[in-house]
Amino acid sequence: MIRRVLNDESGYSLVEVIVSIMLLSIAIIPMVGMFDAGLRAAMTGSNYDKARALANTKLEEAKSLPYDTVETSFPGGTPAPNPTVTSSSQSSGAPAGFTYTVTKRYISKELADSSTDEGLIKVTVTASWGSGNSYSTTGVVSE
């Protein structure tokens, strides 16, 4: 009985092992592509979150300032040549590779664009990164 167990050559043949390795390879190779796609999606989401945080921070900064300061010297502390439409591109205070643009317009009490000062300014902050990617947020500063 013991001799029969020792002479038994059961197990996997070389062909079976090669076939199983090929089947595993066919299943695993597409997963590598999924990891790459997942990494790209995570990076895109991270950049979007950074842009959103930057734009919201700058908008909240504008909302916390007095109306006259927003009208004349926001952002950057330099007086605006024409407060009806002001655009300023900045990179200080932004994460590496990001810039933001602040656009201000007077608006009327009915929230339509206006050329006269009625005590309301629409502030739009656009954070940009990469080639053509951007996020914008808009708020109103009142007198």
Residues 30-74: tens digit of each pLDDT: 888 899 999 999 999 999 999 999 999 999 999 999 988 888 888
Domain annotation covers residue 2? no
Please tell me which residue, 19 or 8, carries the higher pLDDT value. 19
- The whole-number pLDDT of residue 95 equals 80
Domain annotation covers residue 1? no
Domain annotation covers residue 36? yes
Query: 80 vs 19, 55, 68, 123, CA distance in Å?
Result: 73, 20, 11, 14
CA-angle at 55, arms to 53 and 61, nearest 5°: 100
Q: What is the rounded distance in angstroms from the CA atom of residue 41 to the CA atom of residue 15? A: 40
Q: What is the rounded distance in angstroms from the CA atom of residue 120 to the CA atom of residue 87? A: 17
- Domain span at residue 54? 8-142
Number of folded domains in the chain?
1
Domain annotation covers residue 43? yes
Domain annotation covers residue 62? yes
Mean pLDDT of the chain: 83
Q: What is the rounded distance in angstroms from the CA atom of residue 60 to the CA atom of residue 5? A: 80
Residue 137 pLDDT > 80, yes or no? yes
Domain annotation covers residue 100? yes
